[in-house]
Structure 1
Amino acid sequence: MARIRVGLLPSAVCMAGTEATLKIKDPQTGEVATDRETGEHLYTVTVMLMEDGRADVLKITVAQSGIPAGLKPGVMVRPVDLFATPWARIFNGQLSDGIAYRAAKLELVK
């Protein structure tokens, strides 16, 4: 699957919209998603990206060690090593598609 590095403009502003939420791999069993390389638990954070007069909402996956202390809604953040992975699947006979975002860490912006 293609991983695409996301380059943000210097003028880009990112604001956390949610606290970090544990990512569940299988809702039926409650199995927690983990990083394939480190085994760390994965979390998702909804981030509002404002750039060039427009805004987008990104749901970014980050390993537990990449979640800074003090992360809460409304705090300015900077995603580090942000990648986008397009995906598609057929579920119940219907095509679903989207983009999954993954960052090495989120940094609080002072």
Structure 2
Amino acid sequence: MKTMPIDQSQALVILASEPRPRFKDRDGREPAIDRTTGAHLHQVDVMFAFNGRAEVITVNVPEPGLGKGLKVGMPVAFTGLVASAWENEINGKDRHGISVRGDAVTAKAGA
């Protein structure tokens, strides 16, 4: 799977939700596991503002990469932030999208 790094140096990134576990199934029974680290994955929603536009995106982060004391509304920074294209066939329909992953998320220094 090809990945593209995301430069956040000129962006404002604000935590929009508390980190929550990610699951493979809709019923929330099977935790999603990070292929790189083997750790449980968590999802973090952030407002990503750049060039006068803002989007809320969901970023997947392995559990050990979740910074301490993260609170909604605080500026955050990611290490190893990348975007990856994906596609699947689900119930006979082709689905595709972009997944965003970070190695870690922490409160932004000086915030």
Give the counterpart letter for 2:34 in structure 1: D
**Cα distance, 1:19 vs structure 2:** 0.4
**Cα distance, 1:28 vs structure 2:** 4.4
| Structure 2 residue aligned with 1:106 | 105
Give the counterpart letter for 1:17 in structure 2: A
- Residue 89 in structure 1 maps to residue 100 in structure 2: no
Q: For 1:74 and 1:51, how far apart are their aligned partners in 2?
A: 17
| SS of residue in 2 equivalent to 1:32 | coil
Q: For 1:11 and 1:76, how far apart are their aligned partners in 2?
A: 13
Percent identity, aligned pairs only, is 32
The 8 Å contact of residues 80 and 103 in structure 2, kept in 1 or not, is answered as: yes
For the aligned residue pairs, the C-alpha RMSD in angstroms reads 1.5
**Cα distance, 1:98 vs structure 2:** 1.0
Q: TM-score, normalised by structure 1?
A: 0.89
| SS of residue in 2 equivalent to 1:25 | coil
- Residue 3 in structure 1 maps to residue 8 in structure 2: no
Distance change (3 Å), C-alpha of 1:53 and 1:65: same
**Cα distance, 1:89 vs structure 2:** 1.7
Q: For 2:10 and 2:37, how far apart are their aligned partners in 1?
A: 33
Q: TM-score, normalised by structure 2?
A: 0.88
- Where does 1:1-110 land on structure 2 (aligned, <5 Å)? 1-8=1-8, 10-28=9-27, 30-109=29-108, 110=111
1:35-66 deviations in Å (ceiling 9; x for gaps): 22432111000011001100112110001111
**Cα distance, 1:26 vs structure 2:** 2.3
Moved more, 69-78 or 14-23: 69-78
* Unpaired stretches in structure 1, ≥5 consecutive residues: none
The 8 Å contact of residues 68 and 106 in structure 2, kept in 1 or not, is answered as: no
- The answer to which structure has the higher strand fraction is 1
